[in-house]
Amino acid sequence: MYVSQGLALVTGASRGIGRACALALAREGFELLVNFRVQEEKAREVVRAIESAGGKARALGFDVRDGAATDRALLPLIEERPLAALVVNAGIAKDNLLAATTSEDWASVVGTSLDGFFHTTRLAVRGMLRERRGRIVTIASVSGLAGVPGQTSYSAAKAGLIGATRSLAQEVAKRGVLVNCVAPGFVETDMTASLPRDEILKRIPLGRMARPEEIAEVVAFLCSERASYITGAVIPVTGGVL
Ligand code: NAP
């Protein structure tokens, strides 16, 4: 019998890691809000995949960098029925040496990760605190832990996300809200499609890139009842990349 685990939002769920997270959370019994920014048809395809497996989902378009748009899309849905889980996944990279990075590129990379975290989490956490339950998982990167040349903006965004995750975890733990971070290494998605594959494979001890589902598995575990004593953690899922 289908027992709902509550409502879950995955930002940037039309493609890649976010899509895999939405599908994995639906298998855990969550009802999904599948966020996208521009690729509505891909988000609808994710919704159809969830529904045809017996789950519940709806596509929800908004730009996480835009606080007012996030409020407009999300508030009416979660005011009465708080989110049980939020996956802060939407993120972009614009790799360049710092000296050649434009202000626009810096703002869009840092803004998508950090403003996206702020705009979605501040809404989600209020209801979670009221309900005294909830799971928040942020998707950072090994780049935010170790630093990668050519990714200063991305590393700053992801290191900021890790700091925000750890602080929020301490703010809300007493009310039963658990907040963790997953830090993937290199994952087969559109984001990595144009990177020099042979060079990357040399850096990965397991000798291959991750499938999005291998990241989503950890995210789904962190959102499940099975992960009842983990909060403030940053979990690398990197195939051994340090
Ligand atoms: P991706 O395939 O490029 O997909 C990005 C997703 O984010 C899409 O669904 C996109 O929506 C959405 N998005 C982008 N900007 C948005 C915005 N302003 N508002 C709402 N949604 C937005 O990326 P990915 O590789 O799956 O990466 C997902 C997350 O994992 C990112 O945070 C990334 O930094 C992180 N990560 C990725 C890797 C990797 O190797 N791929 C490694 C470590 C960490 P549309 O389809 O509508 O454009």
Q: What are 146-202's pLDDT values in tens digits?
A: 999 999 999 999 999 999 999 999 999 999 999 999 999 999 999 999 999 999 999
pLDDT of residue 198: 94
Query: Within 6 Å (CB) of ligand 1, which residues are found?
Result: 11-18, 35-39, 42, 63-65, 89-92, 112, 139, 141, 184, 186-187, 189-192
Q: Which neighbouring-strand residues pair with 87? A: 10, 137
Domains assigned to the chain: 6-237 (3.40.50.720)
Among 86, 154, 189, 231, the active-site one is: 154
- pLDDT at position 4: 86
The verdict on whether 154 is a catalytic residue reads yes
Q: Which residue in this structure is represented by tokens 């959370």?
A: 25
Does residue 65 contact residue 117 with C-beta atoms inside 8 Å?
Answer: no
The rounded percent of the chain whose pLDDT value lies above 90 is: 98
* Cα 47 to ligand 1 centre (Å): 17
Cα 124 to Cα 62: distance, rounded to the nearest angstrom = 15
Report pLDDT for 2: 59
Banded model confidence at residue 117, pLDDT cuts 50, 70, 90: very high
Residue found by looking up tokens 């869009």 in the block: 108
Q: The tokens of 188 are what?
A: 């087969």
**Does position 28 have pLDDT exceeding 70, yes or no?**
yes
Contact 217, 21 (CB under 8 A): no
Q: 3-class SS at 157?
A: helix
